[in-house]
Amino acid sequence: MPVLKVKIINLSPFPLPQYETAGSAGMDLRANTAEAIVLAPLERSLVPTGLFIALPQGYEAQIRPRSGLAAKRGLTLLNAPGTIDSDYRGEIQCIVVNLSNHPQTIEPGERIAQMVFAKFEQIELFRVEQLDSTDRGAGGFGSTGT
């Protein structure tokens, strides 16, 4: 399977994101900060990574929480998954929120999120007056069982 090559600028002192295992879907992103960030309960912060990428058209980078940070410390991401579009050239930043009952510290270089690449297609919407019927119909939010 050919590997998609993506251009990246790394202005941080930390290594490029990489897959930690052969089966990993995401690459970890690190906090590019000069000093630690302390988040009070329910506080959020836009955390820079020092990374800039140029994705080919038809691809996005999804920015997702790290499960270990969420389970152990109550740190997660708002707007998750966040989308980095193929035409965005700014710095990748992560909106980290502390959902725990205690202050949490993010250290410089700490792995704060993961980045997953996905192919997508753009579609064209067209207006109609009625949609095709299905067995499910308009049922949602638990309508197929608990």
d(CA 85, CA 79): 14
Write down the pLDDT at residue 91. Answer: 98
Q: Is residue 17 part of a domain?
A: no
Q: Is residue 2 part of a domain?
A: no
Q: Is residue 127 part of a domain?
A: no
**How many structural domains are present in the chain?**
1
Question: What are the φ and ψ backbone dihedral angles of 73, each rounded to 5 degrees?
Answer: -125, -5
Q: Tens digit of pLDDT for each residue in 39-98?
A: 999 999 999 999 999 999 999 999 999 999 999 999 999 999 999 999 999 999 999 999
Q: Is residue 97 part of a domain?
A: yes
Write down the pLDDT at residue 2. Answer: 76
Query: pLDDT over 70 for what percent of the chain?
Result: 97
Write down the pLDDT at residue 54. Answer: 98
d(CA 100, CA 71): 10
Return the bridge partners of 94, or none: 47
Residue 1: band (very low, low, confident or very high) from pLDDT cuts 50, 70, 90: low
Write down the pLDDT at residue 82. Answer: 95
Residue 117: band (very low, low, confident or very high) from pLDDT cuts 50, 70, 90: very high
37 pLDDT higher than 70:
yes
Which domain does 35 fall in, by range?
A: 26-119
The structure's pTM equals 0.88
Q: Which amino acid is located at 66 in the chain?
A: R
Residue 146: band (very low, low, confident or very high) from pLDDT cuts 50, 70, 90: low
Q: What does the block give as tokens for 18?
A: 């990489």
Write down the pLDDT at residue 138. Answer: 84
CATH for 70: 2.70.40.10
Q: Is residue 11 part of a domain?
A: no
d(CA 74, CA 98): 6
d(CA 52, CA 37): 22
Task: For residue 56, count CB atoms less than 10 angstroms from its CB and return exposed for 0-12, middle for 13-18, buried for 19 or more.
Answer: exposed
Q: Is residue 137 part of a domain?
A: no
Task: Give the strand pairing for 104-106 and 37-39.
Answer: antiparallel
Write down the pLDDT at residue 141. Answer: 78
Q: Is residue 80 part of a domain?
A: yes
